Amino acid sequence: MQREMSFCPDFLLIGAQKSGTTSLYAYLNLHPELFMSDVKEPHFFCAPGDGSPVDFVGVQSDWEIHLVPDPAEYEALFADARGRRTGEASASYLVDRLAAPRIVSANPDVRLVVVLRDPVERAISDWRMWQKWGGEKRELADAIADELQRIEDGLPNPHMYLAIGRYVEHLEWWEQYVNRSQFCIVLTEDLEHDRVATLQRIFAHLGVDDTYVPDVDFKLNRKDSFEGKTDSLRAALRVRHSVPGRVFARLVPNNLRKGVREQLTKPAFRPNSGEVPNEVRAELREYFRETNLELQRRYDLDLRSWLTDPDPDPDPGPGSNSNSNSAQSKR
């Protein structure tokens, strides 16, 4: 049974995964003229027409998925918009080949926002995430070799460390269905170093007041998220960040709090995990070089910082190894 794609919000934040979409989703939701669905990633336009489950291996983890396959349920996510422009932020839409035609069928004039991170850092972050969740036992070099072999053999990849980062191919696919003017492409570095100006450019693209200055002195999906934590740790963090939890924490000695954290945290989550040898970074840099150059050329982006490897950081954050870049897309 094929679903009718009769509704699509005014705009979509379509990816890329591990590039700062969670923070950007929260920033957009601060604008008084915008309404983001409470479910950040309903993945509606990726869901099979018969409502059966979707395998999002390589795109999201089981506990983060809030798949909304029912059209009425999806439209209801935006029932409280009250005249505001509506949007959601399913990072799967950038790479899923079902999404673009379905979205455009429902809303040919949809506005699209894409945030892109250095694909080397994105791949490493993705690999670390899966290690933390227990879904990845391989070293990164082995995982990359396996993915390359599966690509050569025409087999699906359980983890898309390389495939997601070939951004220009995904954008070219989308351009079969939308005009380039419907895109607003920003870099993770821009959100890191020039957040308000970058958001105001997005606001202008979405047709809302672009002079609005939101309070965006925060980032999500790093320290503020429960990414890579055990169920016990996630529950403990929720309590810790509540008002009573913050009050109680001030009464507990530091050495006791540290001991509790050690008990709740699996060894794979400790600060020294997820090290990536310099030679693996260099191989990744070389792998993405041509696609990055093409992305830079086609969309008039300054990606110089993506083309040379900075000093390695044991736990790099989005944009932390780069200078601010201009991400103005061609119109």
Question: Where residue 188 sits, what CATH number does that domain have?
Answer: 3.40.50.300
> Residues 312-319: what's their mean pLDDT?
44
Q: Is 312 domain-assigned?
A: no
pLDDT at 49: 58
Q: Is 28 domain-assigned?
A: yes
Q: Does one domain contain both 258 and 200? A: no
CA atoms within 13 A on the CB side of 65: 18
Q: Is 270 domain-assigned?
A: no
Q: Does one domain contain both 157 and 303? A: yes
Q: Does one domain contain both 115 and 240? A: no
Q: Does one domain contain both 85 and 108? A: yes
The structure tokens listed for 208 are 């809302």
Q: Does one domain contain both 124 and 247? A: no
Q: Is 195 domain-assigned?
A: yes
Q: Does one domain contain both 259 and 281? A: no
Q: Is 330 domain-assigned?
A: no
Q: Is 316 domain-assigned?
A: no
Q: Is 313 domain-assigned?
A: no
Q: Does one domain contain both 84 and 184? A: yes
Mean pLDDT rounded to a whole number for the chain: 80
Neighbours of 272 (CB within 10 A): 8
| Residue 157 binned pLDDT confidence (cut-offs 50, 70, 90) | confident
Long-range Cβ contacts of 204-210 (<8 Å, 24+ apart): 205/111, 205/113, 206/10, 206/11, 206/34, 206/85, 206/87, 206/111, 206/113, 207/85, 207/111, 208/31, 208/33, 208/34, 208/85, 209/31, 209/33
The parent domain of residue 136 ranges over 11-222+277-307
* C-alpha span between 172 and 175 (Å, rounded): 5
Q: Does one domain contain both 125 and 237? A: no
Residue listed under structure tokens 């005249």: 83
pLDDT higher than 50, residue 167: yes
3-state secondary structure of 220: coil
Q: What would the pLDDT profile of 60-92 be if each residue is shown by its tens digit?
A: 443 345 789 899 999 999 999 999 999 999 999
Q: Does one domain contain both 86 and 137? A: yes
Q: Is 269 domain-assigned?
A: no
Q: Does one domain contain both 146 and 206? A: yes
Q: Does one domain contain both 147 and 247? A: no
pLDDT at 135: 87
Is the backbone of residue 320 left (phi > 0), alpha (psi -120 to 50) or beta?
alpha
pLDDT at 156: 83
User: Domain count of the chain?
Assistant: 2
* C-alpha span between 87 and 311 (Å, rounded): 37
pLDDT at 267: 37
Q: Does one domain contain both 145 and 235? A: no
